[in-house]
Chains A and B, each alone.
Chain A
Amino acid sequence: MTELIGYNTALALVGALLFGFSSGHVGAFVYLRKASLLSDSLAHATLPGLIIGFLVSTFFGMEEKNSWVLLLGAGISALFGVVVIQWIMTRTKLGFDTAIAAVLSVFFGLGIVLLTGVQSVSVGQQAGLEDYILGSVSGMLFQDVFFIGLVSIICSAAVVVYRRPLTAFIFDPVSGEMAGYAQHRMSFLLSLLALVITIIGLKIVGLILVVAMLTIPAATARLWTTGVWSMSLLSAFFGSASAGTGVIISALFPSLPSGAVIVIIMFIALGLSIVVTNLRGSNV
């Protein structure tokens, strides 16, 4: 296999397959919770932290590829975005959609300003930063893939363990709470999973498009299935297959960013599914 597609691509492929599976798995629940928009604002809110993380790692003379610091910055930044959304909602009369739109655009705008600043003074290898915005698998290291794969497996395991509480929480939160699963705890769990998926997906898909990993496979799977569990597994399969195919295509045509290719493949699967399920009349 490695002779056929090269070591780096094989590495990226493994990471993409595992990440695609897990993002589809988690995404089914995010989709049913109708929290896609929140996930998108999370993703866009990672940008300022990503760049601050980059500056910090450069300042301390770490390797430019030190993705730990960047991802940590991205995570903190996204969490701060969620706090701001919560604050806007509790302290003002503005609605959820307004709070999300404000945080999404302001954080992303701030990130772009920082990015432009970084590029103009030309510290380090800023080229690496753009990979996190549009996704690129060309420079992935073994440690990156190991980290992405491990966290993906943990996220999927969490979905397996908490499938009943998450299902009850989304369908009928009060009854879920009566069964022993407090709504705020389940809401936190689902947000945390969405956040973690977003962070580990930055490298493969990029922050602009990572929300698609949580949404499109789930929407596709919803067309074919009539139960939560089968939907989440099919969504995981679609996510994995699309991410894997996208990585291979992106490796064959290195100028194509992997994130965009993956999203286009997922969209084709969704489009075909809509057509076929409508023709069969099985659209439930």
Chain B
Amino acid sequence: MSADAISVTELTVDYDGVTAIKDVDFAVRAEKLTAIVGPNGAGKSTLIKALLGLIPTRTGSISCFGTLPKQYRKNISYVPQRAQIDWEFPANVFDVVAMGLYGELGLLRRFSSAHKDRVHSALMDVDMADFAARQISQLSGGQQQRVFLARSIIQDAELILLDEPFGGIDAKSEAVIVDILRSQKQNGKSIVAVHHDLSTVKDYFDDIILLNKTVTAFGPVNDVFTKSNIEKTYGVSNLDFLTGRG
């Protein structure tokens, strides 16, 4: 509960030749669930890519527990948007979770029975143990997301970054995923998720970063997730549609 998991200072990032985020400052508290929220085109995915150390930054700095993202990579696990994955890929649930061990296994180390046990244990954590042999093309959206969470859990990373973990999944799966994220938080993990549904922000997250090219506000949801900050981030005209319980 001490240091910041991530701290970002005056960060500007260009993506595809345009400035996607500009002069961004924020901090992410360790061992909290943090939402990144903002309208389409606000630069949320660019910010995630920068936090993963995948794209060059123009100015400013990012630090993950005091080090550069690239050097911290082994301690970050990333859960992509489901839509970015080809679910027709020939793999079953077990195979995908095992991919979480690729960094640790390296090129040639044998996949031992201890590794196998870890895959099964991660699948138990997300309540998917019965699906180990199921082809990923035959999973529902919520199940796909849980498989990715198991892959993330098995990496035992300190920092978990998720790109829209609740995108296009049913309410029941959403509740299961929230429970998994909360238990990961209890285990001392720091979690950051791009999130779209403003009505669930207060229920799911501890902290929030409001982003629209630049950070309009960040901090604990109770302090920062206010009508005026949402207006500032989304523009007034959208407000009735967006606020919900916010």
A175 on the B face (CB < 8 A): yes
B89 near A32 (CB under 8 angstroms)? yes
| Assembly CA distance A162 to B108 (angstroms) | 8
Which residues of chain A come closer than 8 Å to B107, judged between CB atoms?
161-162, 164-165
A281 on the B face (CB < 8 A): no
A174 near B52 (CB under 8 angstroms)? yes
B185 on the A face (CB < 8 A): no
A178 near B137 (CB under 8 angstroms)? no
What residue in chain B is nearest A221 (Cβ atoms)?
A: B90
| Assembly CA distance A177 to B80 (angstroms) | 13
Q: Spot the interface stretch: B5-13, B21-29, B95-103, B175-183.
A: B95-103
What residue in chain A is nearest B73 (Cβ atoms)?
A: A178
B91 near A227 (CB under 8 angstroms)? yes
Most buried by A among B74, B96, B99: B99
Which residues of chain A come closer than 8 Å to B90, judged between CB atoms?
32, 222, 225-228, 231, 284
Known: A164-B102, A164-B107, A227-B92. A175 touches B80 (CB 8 A): yes
**Binary interface encoding of chain B residues 70-85 relative to chain A, with 1 for a CB under 8 A from any of its CBs, else 0:** 0001101110100011
| Assembly CA distance A167 to B86 (angstroms) | 12
B85 near A172 (CB under 8 angstroms)? yes
Which residues of chain B come closer than 8 Å to A170, judged between CB atoms?
89
Which residues of chain A come closer than 8 Å to B102, judged between CB atoms?
164-165, 168, 176, 179
B3 on the A face (CB < 8 A): no
| Assembly CA distance A178 to B152 (angstroms) | 12
**Neighbour of B92 across the interface among A168, A175, A226, CB < 8 A:** A226
B residues touching A (Cβ–Cβ < 8 Å)?
A: 52, 54, 73-74, 76-78, 80, 84-86, 89-92, 95-96, 99, 102-103, 105, 107-108, 135, 137, 151
A residues touching B (Cβ–Cβ < 8 Å)?
A: 32, 161-162, 164-165, 167-168, 170-172, 174-180, 222, 225-228, 231, 284
Write 23 A-B pairs (CB below 8 A) sorted by A numbering. Answer: A32-B89, A32-B90, A162-B107, A164-B105, A165-B102, A168-B102, A171-B89, A172-B80, A175-B78, A175-B80, A175-B151, A178-B52, A178-B73, A178-B76, A178-B78, A179-B102, A179-B103, A222-B90, A226-B90, A226-B92, A227-B92, A228-B90, A228-B91
Q: Please give 7 more A-B residue pairs, beta carbons under 8 A apart, in addition to A178-B103, A228-B89.
A: A165-B107, A172-B85, A174-B78, A175-B99, A228-B91, A228-B95, A231-B90
**Which 4 pairs of residues, A with B, have the shortest CB-CB distance?**
A179-B103, A179-B102, A164-B102, A171-B89
